[in-house]
Every structure is written in structure tokens, then in C-alpha cells.
Amino acid sequence: MTKLTRRTVLASTAAGAGLLAMPAVLRAQDKPSELIVRAWGGAWGDALQKGLADPFTAETGIPVRLDFTEDNEIKPKIWAAVDQGRVPPIHVNWDTSTNATISSLRGVTVDLSDLPNLKGLLPLAKPVGLEGYPLVNTYAYVYVCAYRTEAFPDGPPDSWTVMLDPKFKGRIALYDDGIGFNPISVLAGGGTLADIPGNMEPGYAFYRKLKANAPLLGEDPDFTTWFQNGEIDIACTISVNARAAKEQGIAVEWTVPKEGCKVDTDGLWVPKGLPENEEYWAKQFVNMAVSKEVQEVWCGLLGLPPVYPGLPAPPDLVGNPSYPTTPEDFKKLVSVPSPVLVENQPIWFAKFAEIFQG
């Protein structure tokens, strides 16, 4: 792995890790006292700190503070600040591509098309259905079927329908809004890809049956904790969380059942309304995030396929279906375009809440 040095960061052409040209009105002393980056907690925040935040501070001298406010909670705060002409509460938002697309369509994101490190990235980095780069996708991830090996002595579950088995009552986990599983529930309920998004009823029928098994509903850090405490046997969660549990000595594995798993992307974006110098350094943070050196470390820690081409998979994930790197790999997974998610995901979330919490 190439060592990330100040020289490689400043060499904006050869190494691709360069800074943007600084506007003449800005000077080195115009650095902000800190950069505030909204992030997810647990293994996610740890990886961002080690893989990106710490190298950024080492290169620029600017401390990075991670703000663990949930993405759906910070969104209206950013929108209100931009609408009212106030300075947004954060400098960079680490967000799902779907939520980032929603913010982009609202007009609150800064265009990132001038970032030099965008050149040569995989097509995955480009947001779908949007003009320019109002956000930059940074990696792909899969909502896998994670399971406790002791609960499946005969091998991994081959179908999501195993969640309906009464023996797993109270020992199943999903995200608290069904994210990552809503499209898959349609397939588990006997529907087809052609039903998504026009006919979600097979998925809702599956959820009504699943409710009898009292699944636990939570967020990313919860899944690792539940596996650690032996509270669950099977979950739909991002592979990062299962891998984090496994790295802590828990007997957890993950698989892609015959119905498939949803693949998605996260990204970074910068809100409008920042002072010019703060916007400049926020964009430097995003630019560094897609450099070869940072992508190798950050995505390696997460165990997720990066948007920088040609980087090797972590040894424990070589050939793993949850680490797609080729078109053939992606064909085995279920991808729903961001514009479709923007339009339909709020409906799915509301129906999920109605079924499980109503």
C-alpha cells in the first residue's frame, strides 16, 4: 500500500490524491478550526476515523469531528439552514445515496464536479439520474443474510423464508424501517423483480407473516451487539456489521440466499451555505475520500468494494458474494436505482411501520 504523504496529496495529477486549486482569496490560515462530518457509529465510524479522518488531519492540520446524528435526523436541519440562509450544522454528510439524491433534488448540495480525483473512478461513483456530481458515491455494499453458525449446523440458509420458521421467533433482526429488505421481501413473498415497485403486495404479505415471529428492529450498531450477546440467529444487515461481529470472535457468517440481496451505495456530499473557506476544505475531504490510498484503507476496513478501480479485496472477502467487483457479481444481486428509491422508499417505510408497529 502506498504511504499517504503530504507530497502525494499535493501531487494532483500523478497520484490522483491532490488538493483542489485554492482560490486566490483564500490563504493557508483560512483553515477552519475543525471539520464536522456526519457519520454512522460503531464499526462504520471507526473505519472512517482511521481510514479518512485521521489521514486528512495529518495532511491538512484540520481536526475532524464525527457527528453521529442519524442521517434522517440531520437532513431536515441541513435543509432548514439552507432555506433560511444560515450556516449548515455540518461540513460533509456521509449519507446513503438515496437520501443524498433527495437532498440534491432539493437543491441543497454543492456541485463536486471539479474534484480532481473523480477522474478514472469506476462508473459506480457517479450518481444515477442526476446532472454532474451533487454527491460522490464512495463504495458499494450488500444487505446480506447474516446468521449465527450454531443455529444453522447444516449450512447457511438458502432462502429468506427461513425467517418464518417459528423456532426463530424473537431471534430475527431487521432494520427499523425495513431498509435493505423491502424489495427482497417481495421476492421472498413469491413476487418477481418485475413487481418492484409497482406491486409490493407480495412483500407486505411476507411481512404480515413475519410479524408473528417478533423480529427485533434496529440500526447498524445494534446488529453487532445482538450477535455478540447471542440474542439473534438471523438478520438482514449490511455485511460490515456481520464482519465486525465475526472479527470480535462471534461465530457469525453471511450469505446471499436464492432470492438475492439488495446492493446499494453510500456517498459524501457538501451542503450549500458554508463560508467559502469551509466549503473549500469540505471538498478537500471528499476529494481525499476517493483517492487510491484512502479508498484502499477505508474501504478495506469496512470490507466494502471501493469506487477506485483495481484495488484488491481484503483476504477474508476474496470471492465472497457480498463483495461484488464484476458485472457478473452485480447480476446476482438486486439493485434498485436511486430515483426509484427516492420516489418509493418513503411509501415502503410507512407500510413497514404500519405492519410491524401499528
Helices (H) and strands (E) in the chain, counts: 13, 10
Enter the C-alpha cell of residue 330: 452485480
Domain parsing of the chain, residue ranges: 6-140+264-315, 141-263+333-357
107 Cβ neighbours under 8 A, 6+ residues apart: 82, 272
* Highest-confidence segment of 14-23, 108-117, 315-324: 108-117
Whole-angstrom distance, CA of residue 69 vs CA of residue 123: 30
pLDDT at residue 1 in the model: 39
Placement of cell 450544522 in the chain: 89
Type of residue numbered 5: T
Helices 292-302 and 276-289, packing angle to 10 deg: 70
351 Cβ neighbours under 8 A, 6+ residues apart: 200, 204, 207
pLDDT at residue 327 in the model: 86
Q: Is the pLDDT of residue 24 over 80?
A: no
pLDDT per residue over 221-275, tens digit each? Answer: 899 899 999 999 999 999 999 999 999 999 999 999 999 999 999 999 999 999 9
Tell me the average pLDDT across 73-89.
97
- 354 vs 17 pLDDT, higher one: 354
pLDDT at residue 304 in the model: 97
355 Cβ neighbours under 8 A, 6+ residues apart: 204, 207, 208, 211
pLDDT at residue 16 in the model: 39
Q: Is the pLDDT of residue 294 over 90?
A: yes
Which superfamily, per CATH, for 141-263+333-357?
Periplasmic binding protein-like II (3.40.190.10)
For domain 6-140+264-315, the CATH architecture is 3-Layer(aba) Sandwich (3.40)
pLDDT per residue over 42-64, tens digit each? Answer: 999 999 999 999 999 999 999 99
pLDDT per residue over 134-178, tens digit each? Answer: 999 999 999 999 999 999 999 999 999 999 999 999 999 999 999
Helix/strand/coil (H/E/C) assignment for every residue in 159-183: CHHHHHCHHHCCCEEEECCCCCCHH
Tell me the average pLDDT across 326-344.
91
Same fold, 6-140+264-315 and 141-263+333-357: yes
Tell me the average pLDDT across 289-308.
97
Q: Is the pLDDT of residue 106 over 80?
A: yes
Q: Is the pLDDT of residue 17 over 90?
A: no
Distances from the Cα of 125 to the Cα of 97, 231, 264, angstroms? 10, 37, 12
Tell me the average pLDDT across 277-284.
97
